[in-house]
């Protein structure tokens, strides 16, 4: 079976990382026998912290190593080195109870090493195909996911707060995604909402509204304290609402 691949995008600071971590928690609990992969596409590796993971190397480290070998006159063909990276990626994957974790690392310099980048993308796709669920915390937006992580996702989850700017970003991402990425479903998850009655007025541009996640100081405390989101209590409103949204989105 093809994996379910959920990519989270949206303006900075709207809660993508917190929600990604919560989704990993929900999937891990609901499907203890399924293979779940969390991909951190944020150079600051925030998802790692939220999930209590310390990655030793990122995909970018592997990429840099290949480029350095080529530049230092390694006699092997660049593509030969890249093909060895197939195995190195397994060193970059951190195995946890119930899920695996991969950090992408820094975005590469513009326009360089296209063959290496596109090969690495194939490697990520190959690895992902061995999982049942893949959750991508896509810090940098859809273009970056497309260029650095993968071409096709099944569920594009747009995260926004109740601000006009947040909603504009989400609609732009959807428009760009329609041209650049393949996805089966798209939906909006509103986060950090103080008063859900006000939200009813928001124009989603025809994109399905999957749910309204309340503002919850627990989330902030977990973030500030560097606590593991896997330990968020199941009955926390944020967890309950995200679970409902995943049901509506046909993820669970
Ligand atoms: N539902 C929420 N209630 C309260 N605070 C939240 C909520 N979601 C996120 N936050 C806080 O907002 C800040 C940004 O969240 P984060 O998940 O890092 O966003 P992003 O990954 O989109 O930049 C963090 O301090 C986080 O603790
Ligand atoms: Mg983040």
> Residue 16: CB within 6 Å of ligand 1?
yes
What CATH number is associated with residue 137? 3.40.50.300
Q: Pocket of ligand 1, candidates 13, 18, 22: which has the most ligand atoms within 8 Å of its Cβ, to mutate?
A: 18
Ligand 1 pocket member 219 (CB < 6 A): yes
17 lines ligand 1 (CB under 6 A): yes
14 alpha carbon, closest ligand? 1
What is the count of structural domains for the chain? 1
Read off the tokens for 86. 């197939």
Tokens of 16: 């993508």
Indicate the top mutation candidate among 223, 224, 227, 228 to test ligand 1's pocket, ranked by most ligand atoms within 8 A of CB: 223
- Which ligand number lies closest to the CA of residue 12? 1
Task: Confirm or reject: Cβ of 46 under 6 Å from ligand 1.
Answer: yes
Q: Tell me which ligand sits closest to the C-alpha of residue 242.
A: 1
Q: What is the pLDDT of residue 6?
A: 97
Would the CB of 103 count as within 6 Å of ligand 1? no
Residue-by-residue pLDDT tens, the chain, 252 positions:
799 999 999 999 999 999 999 999 999 999 999 999 999 998 888 999 999 999 999 988 988 887 787 777 766 676 677 777 778 888 899 999 999 999 998 876 655 566 777 778 888 888 999 999 999 998 756 777 887 788 889 999 999 999 989 999 999 999 999 888 889 999 999 999 999 888 888 889 999 999 999 999 989 999 999 999 999 999 999 999 999 999 999 999
Please provide the DSSP assignment of 218-231 as one string. Answer: HHHHHHHTT--GGG
Closest Cα to residue 144, out of 12, 52, 233? 12
pLDDT of residue 111: 52
Return the H-helix or E-strand segment holding 100.
strand 100-103
Query: What domain range is 66 assigned to?
Result: 4-248
Longest dimension (CA), the chain: 65
Distance 144 CA to ligand 2 centre (A): 14
Ligand 2 centroid vs 142 CA: distance in angstroms?
Answer: 14
**Which ligand 1 atom sits nearest the alpha carbon of residue 213?**
1
What single-letter DSSP state applies at residue 14? S
Give yes or no for a contact between 121 and 89, defined as CB atoms under 8 angstroms apart: no
Q: How many residues in total does the chain contain? A: 252
**DSSP letter string, 141-206:** -HHHIIIII-SB-SEEEEEE-SSHHHHHHHHHHHHHHHHH-B-SEEEEEEEEES-HHHHTT---TT
**Count of beta carbons in the 10 Å neighbourhood of residue 95:** 10
Indicate if ligand 1 lies below 6 Å from the C-beta of 4: no
Ligand 1 lined by 216 (C-beta under 6 Å): yes
Which pLDDT value is given to residue 201? 82
Pocket test for ligand 1, best of 8, 145, 219 (most atoms within 8 A of CB): 219
């Amino acid at each position: 079976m093809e994996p379910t691949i959920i990519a989270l995008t949206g303006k900075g600071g709207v809660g993508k990382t917190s929600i990604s971590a919560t989704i990993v928690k929900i999937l891990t609990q609901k499907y203890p026998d399924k293979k779940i992969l969390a991909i951190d596409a944020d150079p600051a590796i925030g998802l790692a912290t939220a999930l209590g993971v310390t990655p030793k190397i990122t995909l970018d480290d592997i990429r840099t190593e290949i480029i350095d070998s080529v530049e230092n006159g390694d006699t092997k063909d660049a593509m030969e080195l890249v093909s060895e990276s197939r195995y190195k990626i397994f060193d970059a994957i951190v195995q946890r109870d119930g899920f695996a974790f991969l950090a992408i690392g820094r975005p590469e310099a513009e326009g360089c090493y296209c063959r290496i980048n596109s090969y690495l993308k194939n490697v990520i796709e190959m690895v992902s195909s061995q999982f049942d669920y893949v959750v991508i915390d896509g810090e940098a937006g859809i273009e970056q996911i497309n260029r650095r992580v993968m071409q096709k996702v099944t569920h594009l989850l747009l995260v926004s707060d109740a601000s006009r700017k947040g909603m504009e970003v989400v609609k732009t991402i959807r428009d760009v995604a329609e041209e650049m990425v393949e996805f089966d479903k798209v939906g909006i998850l509103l986060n950090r909402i103080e008063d859900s009655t006000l939200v009813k007025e928001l124009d989603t541009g025809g994109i399905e509204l999957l749910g309204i996640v309340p503002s919850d100081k627990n989330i902030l405390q977990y973030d500030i304290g560097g606590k593991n989101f896997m330990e968020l209590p199941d009955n926390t409103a944020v967890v309950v609402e995200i679970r409902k949204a995943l049901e509506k989105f046909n993820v669970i």
